[in-house]
Amino acid sequence: MKSQGENLPDTAQAFVPGHITGIFRIYDEHDDPLRCGSIGAGFCVDIGTTSTVKLVDSIELEVSVAYNGRPIKAPVTTTVIQRLLQQHQRVCKVQVRHESMLPIGVGFGASGAGALGTALALSSLIDAEFDSQEAAKHAHYAEVVNHTGLGDVIAQTTGGAEIRMKPGAPGIGEIIKIPINKSFRVVLAGAPGLETKSVLTNKEHRGRIISVADELMEELRTEITIDSLIFYSRQFANSIGLMTSRVESALNELEANELNDSSMVMLGDSVFCFCSDDESNQAVDILSRFWEPNQVLVTGISEDGGRLVL
């Protein structure tokens, strides 16, 4: 493929870590989706999505997307592709393959990872001098307009654990990174059952989320630590009324076994548990009583955000 007179490859690949949100406050009423988003806190994890994008010359736009080998309808990925190609006045066939350890629809940032990976890989194919932050804005836009996320992309661009201080896309929103202990393990368990879109578009849910988050975020901002992230995440989860019976039971069982650094994943029928390497087996055993074994994952915090790998 050619751009600005240079020969460019027709295939590129990007890796983006998953992202777990513990607490968030919705800001999605601005007319510009790039200025919509959320404030809150969360962390990126080592497991994530590798997105391979291939371009083929064509007289009309054609998009195909597969997730772990299975064709899927992918409105977020498709929105990213349409915006980037329109911006660069390109028409072609785009094939996207997402290979991921992130299950879809459980709150582990799969949608944001796929969107950002597609944006980075496709941008590198159509512009030899692409800017990764500008590419990430397309991913954020796609998440907002499809109601699949508000703060994952800016966090997945940065990596690490974070407090999102100002809403908006990368380059507009603001993040403070939280110092982390690299020896931490994170045990995740989750299943579909709580759809982000249904929550973000529900007036009652939105009102509770905003009210509780306004109070807790004021306190969280005063102490930028992973312990505070976990504590206020649990306060938030206990107060917004979205905890499933499975999540509530699992968190109670973790606490009964002194695995207290745990909370609900926003948004999902899912939990996270911070623990030492020695404690991770115990956490897995407990969570496997509530979720299928293949729905329980052990990972760490990813210091790095999304990046090209090919």
How many domains would you assign to the chain?
2
Instruction: Check whether residue 18 and residue 37 sit in a common domain.
Output: yes
Q: Are 134 and 92 in contact (CB under 8 A)?
A: no
pLDDT in tens, 106-141: 999 999 999 999 999 999 999 989 999 999 999 999
Instruction: Check whether residue 8 and residue 114 sit in a common domain.
Output: yes
pLDDT in tens, 174-212: 999 999 988 899 999 999 988 888 888 899 999 999 999
The CATH number for 24's domain is 3.30.230.10
Task: For residues 8-17, give the mean pLDDT.
Answer: 90
pLDDT of residue 226: 95
Look at strands 62-67 and 92-100 and give their pairing: parallel
What confidence tier does 3 reach under pLDDT thresholds 50, 70, 90?
very low
Instruction: Check whether residue 112 and residue 186 sit in a common domain.
Output: no
Instruction: Check whether residue 131 and residue 278 sit in a common domain.
Output: no
For 263, the domain range is 180-299
Last residue of a domain, one of 161, 177, 193: 177
Instruction: Check whether residue 139 and residue 228 sit in a common domain.
Output: no
Residue 91 domain-assigned? yes
pLDDT in tens, 46-97: 999 999 999 998 899 999 999 999 999 999 999 999 999 999 999 999 999 9
pLDDT of residue 2: 40
User: Using CA atoms, how far apart are residues 205 and 239, in angstroms rounded to an integer?
Assistant: 11
Instruction: Check whether residue 203 and residue 74 sit in a common domain.
Output: no
Q: Are 18 and 47 in contact (CB under 8 A)?
A: yes
Residue 20 domain-assigned? yes
Q: Are 150 and 24 in contact (CB under 8 A)?
A: yes
User: Using CA atoms, how far apart are residues 299 and 178, in angstroms rounded to an integer?
Assistant: 18
**For the chain, what is the mean pLDDT?**
95
What confidence tier does 4 reach under pLDDT thresholds 50, 70, 90?
very low
The CATH number for 201's domain is 3.30.70.890
Q: What is the pTM of this model?
A: 0.94
Task: For residues 160-167, give the mean pLDDT.
Answer: 97
Residue 74 domain-assigned? yes
Spatial neighbors of 187 by CB under 8 A, at least 6 apart, are 272, 273, 275, 280, 283, 284, 287, 296, 297, 298
Instruction: Check whether residue 219 and residue 252 sit in a common domain.
Output: yes
Residue 89 domain-assigned? yes
Task: For residues 33-58, give the mean pLDDT.
Answer: 97
pLDDT of residue 7: 55
Residue 307 domain-assigned? no
Q: Is the pLDDT of residue 1 over 50?
A: no
Could you give the percent of the chain with pLDDT greater than 70? 97
Last residue of a domain, one of 162, 177, 192: 177
Instruction: Check whether residue 154 and residue 205 sit in a common domain.
Output: no
pLDDT of residue 149: 93
Instruction: Check whether residue 170 and residue 262 sit in a common domain.
Output: no
Instruction: Check whether residue 221 and residue 253 sit in a common domain.
Output: yes
pLDDT of residue 11: 97
pLDDT of residue 8: 56
Spatial neighbors of 177 by CB under 8 A, at least 6 apart, are 158, 160, 161, 162
Q: Is the pLDDT of residue 250 over 90?
A: yes
Residue 245 domain-assigned? yes
Last residue of a domain, one of 177, 194, 210: 177
Residue 208 domain-assigned? yes
Instruction: Check whether residue 284 and residue 228 sit in a common domain.
Output: yes
Instruction: Check whether residue 230 and residue 185 sit in a common domain.
Output: yes
Residue 305 domain-assigned? no
